[in-house]
Amino acid sequence: MKEGVNLDKEIDESRQGEATMIASEGSKTAKKLYVESYGCAMNFADSEVVASIMSQNGYTTTGDVEEADVVLINTCSIRENAESSVRKRLTNFKKRKQRQPELIVGILGCMAERLKKNLLEEEKLVDLVVGPDAYRDLPGLITEVEGGQKAVNVLLSRDETYADIAPIRLDKNGVSSFVSITRGCDNMCSFCVVPFTRGRERSRDPETIYNECATLFEQGYREVTLLGQNVDSYRWNMTSKGEIKDETKPTTNFAQLMESVASISPDLRIRFSTSHPKDMTDEVLEIIAKHENICNYIHLPIQSGNSEVLKRMNRGYTREWYLERIESINRIIPNCAISTDIITGFCDETEEEFQDTLSIMREVKWDFAYMYKYSERPKTLAERRFEDNVPEKVKGARLTEIINIQQENSLEVNKRQIGQVHKVLVESFSKRSEDDFAGRNDQNTTVIFPKGNFGKCDYVLMKIKTCTAATLQGEVVDVLKPST
């Protein structure tokens, strides 16, 4: 089994570690930019901000890397595998520069700050290094490189949110899109490098979020996913303690933000990611239950089912707290799907502690899960405080057990959907056959169904006939007319 794969969803894994590109119209003499993104949805959203900044400075983006004048790799440092993939890619571009010395290669994002010296000076793999809060400086930094200098800006900001930048939609699927609502993270989980690579948490002006989502709907998009490392801690004009910063301005929390975006149109479906158990409030759950177009789906990472491991992870909650949040979700939103993240083999994890993770999997029965072996990351609290002492062989065996249980749980959940009717947003052709369409239901499960007299961005009612652990298959019983 592949480490780190969500085995219970037919997600588009081609977005992970492959190019996210768009061929834009523009002058044939304009310089051309190729952007390649790795890792999480936040990185893909950031690449769209970068494309917008560069387009304002005379660049067109291209889907053909061979014709690019500038190649920017938006990187991920969350796991070692992601960094290895990026290094291999950069090595290939280094070889290309031998025949095209004027080519400019840069890295953006999470690897930038951590590995700037290695990549620029020691390995000489890149010409510029730009951290996630310095994208506005890209045009100037590229000018420095064109003048024969190496260029670096990895300074983190307490204020930058790119709220005034209208992202260029790189995937152009025309159905769903990501909208960032926060940047950075204050949680300091001991295994996570994000606070060190993305800085302190900042919330974006709610008016700009609303306007971006409204514009997407006007452009034909029918789904937005509100993004943040911890969306539940979104606070506009409030401190982390709930104190008002400016008495002359309104305040907005995450529940209020979601309700605002949901008001754009009943035909605009709202998702969000990721929630943190310690910050998930009943107010948020009640807003989800109140609005039909806010999807009944919550990604609520547990990481471990043992409270002592959670304490070492600095997660800020116990097993019992997490289960109370699950109970609240099931009570307030009875038809809500829940997914999770699980890390096995964290520092000092005993067999008894691992068994607690297996037992909570059997108790909660998440709809699907992202499952990983622990991978120690430099500069994290875990690296400084603990020893990565669970043998790789044990990590692998434990991961296999977790995957097997989750497959059983996912299949059980999906079997319960057979015979039910689901509202599905048509997104694309099925990856296996252009005779079938694929879309997702309210609970974020992929549904495969035969083509009919409808297309992308249509809502259809689907009767489920069969399933696997990853997908549902069905037939269309009705095509819904737009509400607006």
CATH code: domain of residue 369 = 3.80.30.20
Write out the two tokens for 176: 């769903």
Write out the two tokens for 287: 């807003």
Residue 197: per-residue pLDDT: 86
How many other CB atoms are there within 10 angstroms of residue 65's CB atom? 16
Distance, in Å, from the CA atom of 484 to the CA atom of 476, rounded to the nearest integer, reads: 22
pLDDT at 276 over 80: yes
Residue 9: per-residue pLDDT: 35
* Domain hosting residue 54, numbered range: 13-153
Pick from 83, 182, 183, 65: which is nearest to 134 by CA? Answer: 183
Write out the two tokens for 180: 């960032």
Residue 118: per-residue pLDDT: 79
Q: Is there a domain that residue 171 lies in?
A: no
Task: Quote the strand ranges of 191-318, DSSP E.
Answer: 202-203, 223-227, 235-236, 252-253, 269-273, 297-299
**Strands 182-183 and 202-203, how do they pair?**
antiparallel
pLDDT grade for 484, boundaries at 50, 70 and 90: low
27 and 116 both lie in a single domain = yes
pLDDT grade for 27, boundaries at 50, 70 and 90: very low
Residue 133: per-residue pLDDT: 94
149 and 180 both lie in a single domain = no
Report the pLDDT averaged over residues 305-317.
98
Torsion 194-198-201-206 (CA) sign: negative
Residue 29: per-residue pLDDT: 56
CATH at 431 = 2.40.50.140
Domain boundary, last residue among 396, 413, 430: 413
Q: Is there a domain that residue 165 lies in?
A: no
pLDDT digits (tens, 9 = 90+) for 100-155: 899 999 999 888 777 777 778 767 889 999 999 999 999 999 999 999 999 999 99
117 and 198 both lie in a single domain = no
Put residue 293 in one of left, alpha, beta given phi > 0 → left and psi -120 to 50 → alpha: alpha
Q: 326 vs 41, which has greater pLDDT?
A: 326
396 and 435 both lie in a single domain = no
Strand order in the sheet with 337-344: 297-299, 337-344, 368-373
Residue 16: per-residue pLDDT: 36
Q: Are 108 and 119 in contact (CB under 8 A)?
A: no
Q: Is there a domain that residue 170 lies in?
A: no
207 and 327 both lie in a single domain = yes
Domain boundary, last residue among 121, 153, 185: 153
251 and 333 both lie in a single domain = yes
400 and 284 both lie in a single domain = yes
Report the pLDDT averaged over residues 212-231.
96
Residue 379: per-residue pLDDT: 85
Task: Indicate the residue type of 390.
Answer: V
pLDDT at 284 over 90: yes
Percent of the chain scored above 70 by pLDDT? 93
Report the pLDDT averaged over residues 196-217.
94
Residue 17: per-residue pLDDT: 38
Report the pLDDT averaged over residues 378-389.
94
Collect all residues with Cβ–Cβ distance below 8 Å to 149 and sequence separation of at least 6. Answer: none
Write out the two tokens for 4: 């780190």
Tally the domains of the chain: 3
Pick from 290, 293, 272, 270: which is nearest to 282 by CA? Answer: 290
Pick from 216, 410, 387, 414: which is nearest to 312 by CA? Answer: 387
**What predicted TM-score, i.e. pTM, was given to this entire model?**
0.89
148 and 114 both lie in a single domain = yes
47 and 122 both lie in a single domain = yes
Q: 342 vs 75, which has greater pLDDT?
A: 342
Write out the two tokens for 475: 């037939």
Residue 240: per-residue pLDDT: 76
Q: Are 71 and 47 in contact (CB under 8 A)?
A: no
Q: Are 264 and 252 in contact (CB under 8 A)?
A: no
Backbone phi and psi for residue 447, each to the nearest 5 degrees, phi listed first: -120, 130
- What rounded mean pLDDT belongs to the chain? 90
Q: Are 429 and 31 in contact (CB under 8 A)?
A: no
Q: How far does the chain reach from its first CA to its final CA, in angstroms?
A: 45
Residue 22: per-residue pLDDT: 37
CATH at 44 = 3.40.50.12160
DSSP-assigned letter for residue 480: P
3-state secondary structure of 107: strand
Pick from 236, 330, 220, 328: which is nearest to 283 by CA? Answer: 328
**C-alpha angle 145-150-153 in degrees, rounded to nearest 5:** 100
Q: Is there a domain that residue 162 lies in?
A: no
Distance, in Å, from the CA atom of 192 to the CA atom of 341, rounded to the nearest integer, reads: 13
Q: Is there a domain that residue 80 lies in?
A: yes
Q: Are 314 and 190 in contact (CB under 8 A)?
A: yes
